[in-house]
Structure 1
Amino acid sequence: MIVEYIRYRIADGRHTAFEEAYGRAAGPLRAAEQCVDYELSRCVEDPGAYVLRIRWTSTEDHLRGFRTGPQFAAFLAEVRPYVEDIEEMRHYEVTEVAGRGGSAPTLYAWAGGADAFERLFTRFYEHVGKDEVLAPVFAGMDPHHAEHVAAWLGEVFGGPARYSTGHGGHRHMASRHLGRGVTEQQRRRWVALLLETADEVGLPADPEFRGVLAYYLEWGTRMAVIYSGPNPPPLPETPMPRWDWGLTPPYRP
């Protein structure tokens, strides 16, 4: 992933036309397979200063892919009148210094913190033991299993790194599914029962939180099926996945 920044100086009287031109140029960007996302910003203190941020899959994909591909001509046709207004046009690598501010609570805090996740999974695994579809999967379950899974989801949703520091992180979680042969029926039942239990124990019911929760459960259980199958991929060496409002693990083809 690479980030291109283009800084413009647009004279008074051309601002509206400039923004409209980029509104049209956004079409080719949306259609370009090399483009991850884009954003045009205007300076509040200096209204003639604009910054266009485009994330490309790589510098080469931008220069040799997009610029020689079918979308570039349409893009350039819209922005050509403003090429002379460019003050900077460079590619930047993203560093490890990145994170979120405190303006919005984490999913972990919104759900109710450690108590909420422990309440959820304690009750959930009580149901699992009586469920004809899931009980065979969890026969002989570690008595601390609910506590461990609560720590896992809490960390994924922005809470303390209890699972990473105490249980081995992402690689360990994936390894716990090897050879288990989880079926699609069992996966679907796990998701449905957990969502029912979330209602039962009073987790937040707002559409935004429940949407992220359901999204994560679909992702996580499908990964579990993959690792539990006959030809699992190599165990992940990546950090714990982190989910947030509108933020999920990056897509990797």
Structure 2
Amino acid sequence: MLEVAILNVIPGKEAEFETAFRRASAIISSMNGYISHQLQRCVENSSRYILLVNWQTLEAHTVGFRGSPQYQEWKQLLHHFYNPFPTVEHYEVVLEQKALPIV
């Protein structure tokens, strides 16, 4: 299951946000049901990021992580950077295809 969060960071706070996110990465990666994550910055709008988190189940994110004491620390580190508050959605794979190796 893929969590997709669109993060609009207050302009001028990008470097501070990225530093805080590096610290917050240790929190999320320690959670039960966590698989992997990526933070990507938008090329056209340097204040916009996308967070992609792979979880084993929807509940690992919505109940396990969000209901944990670690989530409170995550919020303290990151939530004051956002304006507006992020849109978070969850996706499941319908089709996956990879490039064929070049021989």
The aligned amino acid for 2:80 is P
Deviation of 1:11 (Å):
3.3
**What TM-score, normalized to structure 2?**
0.85
Counterpart Cα distance in 2 of 1:68 and 1:11: 26
| 1:22–1:79 contact (8 Å) kept in structure 2 | yes
Counterpart Cα distance in 1 of 2:16 and 2:84: 13
Deviation of 1:87 (Å):
4.3
Higher RCO, 1 vs 2 (CA within 8 Å, ≥6 residues apart): 2
The aligned amino acid for 2:29 is R
Of 61-70 and 47-56, the range deviating more from structure 2: 61-70
The aligned amino acid for 1:30 is S
| 2:10–2:83 contact (8 Å) kept in structure 1 | no
Deviation of 1:12 (Å):
2.6
The structure-2 alpha-carbon separation of the partners of 1:91 and 1:101, relative to structure 1 and needing over 3 Å to count, comes to same
Larger radius of gyration: 1
Counterpart Cα distance in 1 of 2:86 and 2:77: 18
Counterpart Cα distance in 1 of 2:16 and 2:74: 15
Q: Percent same amino acid at aligned positions?
A: 26
The structure where strand makes up a greater share of residues is 2
The aligned amino acid for 1:72 is Y
Deviation of 1:4 (Å):
0.8
Aligned length: 103
Gaps of 5+ in 2: none
The structure-2 alpha-carbon separation of the partners of 1:18 and 1:85, relative to structure 1 and needing over 3 Å to count, comes to farther
The structure-2 alpha-carbon separation of the partners of 1:83 and 1:13, relative to structure 1 and needing over 3 Å to count, comes to closer
Give secondary structure in 2 for the equivalent of 1:31: coil
| 2:32–2:60 contact (8 Å) kept in structure 1 | no
Deviation of 1:83 (Å):
4.3
The aligned amino acid for 1:35 is Y
Give secondary structure in 2 for the equivalent of 1:33: coil
The structure where helix makes up a greater share of residues is 1
